[in-house]
Amino acid sequence: MKQNLYNYILGIADNSLILGQRLGELTGHGPSLETDIACTNISLDLFGQVRSYFQYAAKIAGDDRTEDDIAMLRKEREYVNVLLVEQPNTNFAYTMARQFLFDVYHLLFLQELEKSKDLTLSAIATKSIKEVSYHERFSGDWIKRLGDGTEESKTKMQDAIDGLWTYTDELFHQTEADKAMVAEGIGVDVTKLKETYYKKVNEILEEATLEIPESKWFQKGGKEGVHTEHLGYLLAELQYMQRAYPNMEW
C-alpha cells in the first residue's frame, strides 16, 4: 500500500507541477497586465498545492529524498502527468483552452478527493478547492469571451479546442495505483467523473458558440510515463537550477 500511495500522490501532483510550469512561462507575456498577473497567480496556486503533495510523498517514501528531489530530480519517464498539461503555449487561446479542459476535471477531482479516508489528502483537497474554483471560472470566462468574440478569436479558440480534445480522455484512465487506492477508500474513481466532465465542458463550449469536437480518437501514455516531445524541453528548464546547484531548497 505504501508504494501505491506514493505513486498515487505523484499522479495527482505531477499534473499541477507541469501545468504550473507551463503557466509560469507566460509571466511578463500576458495579453494584458491583469491577465498576466492572474495566470502567474494560478501558476503559484498550483505550485503551492504541489508542494503539499510532495512533502507528503517524501514522508511516505521514508528515505533521504526531499520534496525538492521528488519534484526536480526525476527522469522524464518517471513523471506521470497527463499529456494535456504538457502541451505548449501555442497562443493565448491555446493556453486558456488547455487550462479550461484541465480545470473542469481538477475541480471535480478535488471535490471527490476531499472525501478520502486519507486525512492528509483530504486536507490538501479542501484547501485547494477554493483556488481551483477560481481557476475554472477564469478559464471558462476566457473560453466564452474568445469563442463568442471576433471572427479571429473564435477561429483560434476553436482550433485550440480541436487540437487539445484528443488529450481529454486520458484524464479518466486508471493506473494500478489508482485502482489500489480506490479500493482502500483513499483515491478517487476518475471513471465516474467522465460523464459530468464532458457535460460541463460541452455546456461552456455551447455558450461560447463553439463546436464540440466529434473525434473519438484519443492520445494516452502520460500516466505511464510515455510523453510527448514537449515534456523533455519543459523539464530541462524546470530542473536546471536544481541540477546546476545541487541541494538547493525550494
Whether the CB-CB separation of 234 and 22 falls below 8 Å is answered with yes
Element (H, E) at 52: helix 33-61
Q: What is the pLDDT of residue 105?
A: 98
Burial of 85 (C-beta count, 10 Å sphere; 0-12/13-18/19+): buried
CATH code of the domain made up of 2-244: 1.20.1260.10
Question: In the chain, what are the domain boundaries?
Answer: 2-244
Whether the CB-CB separation of 94 and 164 falls below 8 Å is answered with yes
Q: What is the pLDDT of residue 24?
A: 87
Q: What is the pLDDT of residue 66?
A: 87
Length, in residues, of the chain: 250
> Cα–Cα distance between 147 and 153 in angstroms, integer?
6
Q: What is the pLDDT of residue 125?
A: 97
Q: What angle do helix axes 119-147 and 151-164 make, rounded to 10 degrees?
A: 140
- Averaged over successive runs of 10 residues, the pLDDT of the chain (250 residues) comes to 92 97 82 79 95 95 87 93 96 96 98 97 97 96 96 97 97 96 96 97 97 91 94 91 76
Q: What is the pLDDT of residue 57?
A: 96
pTM (two decimals): 0.94
Q: What is the pLDDT of residue 244?
A: 84
